Chains A and B, each alone.
Chain A
């Protein structure tokens, strides 16, 4: 299966700490995307990293991609209570058109 696997499944940290989530996948990709889902709502796109990129930043988010290890990590620095959500990685590959396959997600809880 192409599906990404995320680690850990759940993470609980104190406000102000950094949170790191990991995503592993099995086959070649065009890009890897991270999404956030607040409880019971739809997903919101956070950041996209292309297969020829190694690191990307967006505000307090830092994403790395290691295609040799087929893995990616999402770092949220200086976490806030509002960061409490589920985070999903999605791997994109081309099969007639770009197809996205989502991982099972990491549930992040930020404790005040």
Chain B
């Protein structure tokens, strides 16, 4: 089975800190995604990457950046954390982005910015 691992289950940071959320997948998937999930808003796409060193903005990229130096690892960076970035962050991957592919999700990181 595909395993998508997020480095932290819970994270507490202070306003203004630089925050790194790490995600690793073990099935050589080309595509990787970062979503945030907030009550009543569902999942919203922050950034995605089709391949190494490639990235594209999703629906809510403001305040975030990403890095994909290796195929298996996709990092989400909060340059200067703010309280409105308190949320559940979900990483996902899929093989190639072709038709009828499903997403494989990590367990999520609950980030609290104080």
Contacts and interface: CB of A to CB of B under 8 A. Distances in A.
Contacts of A33: 102-103
Interface residues of A, number: 24
B84 interface: no
B12 interface: no
A41 B105 CA distance: 9
A98 B7 CA distance: 27
B87 interface: no
A97 B41 CA distance: 24
A36 B21 CA distance: 23
| Consensus secondary structure, chain A interface | strand
Interface in B1-57: 4, 31, 35, 40-43, 50
A98 B103 CA distance: 11
Contact of A43 (B50, B98, B100, B103): B103
Contacts of B103: 33, 35, 43, 45, 90, 100
Given A94-B99, A98-B97, A98-B101, A104 B42 contact: yes
Given A94-B99, A97-B97, A98-B99, A43 B40 contact: no
B85 interface: no
A98 B102 contact: no
A3 B42 contact: yes
A88 interface: yes
A103 B90 CA distance: 15
Given A33-B102, A48-B102, A41 B107 contact: yes
A39 to B, nearest CB: 11
18 contacts: A35-B103, A40-B110, A41-B107, A42-B4, A42-B92, A42-B107, A43-B103, A43-B105, A48-B102, A90-B103, A92-B99, A94-B99, A97-B50, A97-B97, A98-B98, A98-B101, A102-B35, A103-B42
Interface of B: 4, 31, 35, 40-43, 50, 88, 90, 92, 97-108, 110
